[in-house]
Amino acid sequence: MTIQEIKDKGLLLFECISGSKAYGLNTPQSDTDLKGVFYLPKEQFYGLEYIPQVSNETNDEVYYELGRFVELLCKNNPNILELLASPNECILYKHPLMERLDINMFLSKLCKDTFAGYALTQIRKARGYKKKVVNPIEKERRTVLDFCYVMDNYQSVLVKEWLDKNGLSQEFCGLSSISHAKGVYALFYDADNKYGYHGIAVKETANEVSLSSIPKGEQAVAYLFWNMEAYSLYCKEYKEYWDWVEERNDNRYQTNLNHGKNYDSKNMMHTIRLLQVAEEILRDGKLNVKRPNRRELLDIKAGNMDYDDLLAIADKLMENIESYYMISTLPDTPDKQKTERILVEMREELYK
The pLDDT, as a whole number, for residue 128 is 52
Cα distance between residue 102 and residue 84, in whole Å: 8
Residue 64 parent element (H or E): strand 61-65
Lowest mean pLDDT among 55-59, 64-68, 173-177, 250-254: 250-254
Q: Is residue 242 part of a domain?
A: no
Total of domains in the chain = 3
Asked if residues 12 and 96 have their Cβ atoms less than 8 Å apart, the reply is no
- Coil, helix or strand for 305? coil
The pLDDT, as a whole number, for residue 257 is 45
Q: Is residue 195 part of a domain?
A: yes
- Considering just the CA atoms, what is the radius of gyration of the chain in Å? 30
Q: Are residues 275 and 310 in the same domain?
A: yes
Residue that wins the pLDDT comparison between 246 and 336: 336
The pLDDT, as a whole number, for residue 249 is 55
Kindly report, residue by residue over 184-234, the tens digit of the pLDDT.
999 999 999 999 999 999 888 899 999 999 999 999 999 999 999 999 999
Q: Are residues 323 and 345 in the same domain?
A: no
Cα distance between residue 344 and residue 17, in whole Å: 27
Pairing of β 173-177 and β 33-38? unpaired
Residue that wins the pLDDT comparison between 128 and 302: 302
Q: Are residues 168 and 186 in the same domain?
A: yes
Kindly report, residue by residue over 142-197, the tens digit of the pLDDT.
999 999 999 888 889 999 999 999 999 999 999 999 999 999 999 999 999 999 99
The pLDDT, as a whole number, for residue 263 is 67
Asked if residues 240 and 202 have their Cβ atoms less than 8 Å apart, the reply is no
Q: Are residues 261 and 343 in the same domain?
A: no
Q: Are residues 186 and 229 in the same domain?
A: yes
When pLDDT is cut at 50, 70 and 90, the band that residue 125 belongs to is: low
Q: What is the mean pLDDT of residues 8-17?
A: 97
When pLDDT is cut at 50, 70 and 90, the band that residue 346 belongs to is: very high
When pLDDT is cut at 50, 70 and 90, the band that residue 34 belongs to is: very high
Spatial neighbors of 12 by CB under 8 A, at least 6 apart, are 6, 36, 37, 38, 63, 93, 95
Q: Are residues 118 and 214 in the same domain?
A: no
What is the overall mean pLDDT for the chain?
89
Q: Is residue 14 part of a domain?
A: yes
Q: Are residues 8 and 96 in the same domain?
A: yes
Write phi, then psi, for 195 (nearest 5 degrees).
-100, -10
The pLDDT, as a whole number, for residue 232 is 94
What's the domain range around 314? Answer: 107-136+255-331
Q: Is residue 246 part of a domain?
A: no
Q: Are residues 198 and 131 in the same domain?
A: no
Strand partners, 222: 187
Residue 125 parent element (H or E): helix 117-134
Spatial neighbors of 234 by CB under 8 A, at least 6 apart, are 142, 147
Q: Are residues 321 and 339 in the same domain?
A: no
The pLDDT, as a whole number, for residue 100 is 97
Q: CA torsion angle for 309, 312, 314, 316 (degrees, to 10)?
A: -140
Q: Are residues 305 and 280 in the same domain?
A: yes
Q: Are residues 7 and 86 in the same domain?
A: yes
When pLDDT is cut at 50, 70 and 90, the band that residue 260 belongs to is: very low
Cα distance between residue 267 and residue 339, in whole Å: 33
Using the predicted structure, report yes or no on whether residue 253 has a pLDDT greater than 80. no
Distances (CA, A) of 266 to 114, 116, 259, 260, 313: 20, 17, 12, 14, 16
Q: Are residues 27 and 43 in the same domain?
A: yes
Q: CA torsion angle for 128, 131, 132, 138 (degrees, to 10)?
A: -140
Q: Is residue 241 part of a domain?
A: no
Q: What is the mean pLDDT of residues 59-86?
A: 96
Cα distance between residue 183 and residue 10, in whole Å: 67
Using the predicted structure, report yes or no on whether residue 4 has a pLDDT greater than 70. yes
Q: Is residue 111 part of a domain?
A: yes
What number of CA atoms fall less than 13 Å from residue 278's CA on the CB side?
32
- Concatenated DSSP letters for 191-230? TT--S----SSSSTT-SS----PPPTTPPPSEEEEE-HHH
What number of CA atoms fall less than 13 Å from residue 102's CA on the CB side?
6
Q: Is residue 85 part of a domain?
A: yes
Long-range contacts of 155-159 (CB under 8 A, 24+ apart): 156/225, 159/200, 159/224
Q: Is residue 249 part of a domain?
A: no
The pLDDT, as a whole number, for residue 124 is 66
The pLDDT, as a whole number, for residue 256 is 45
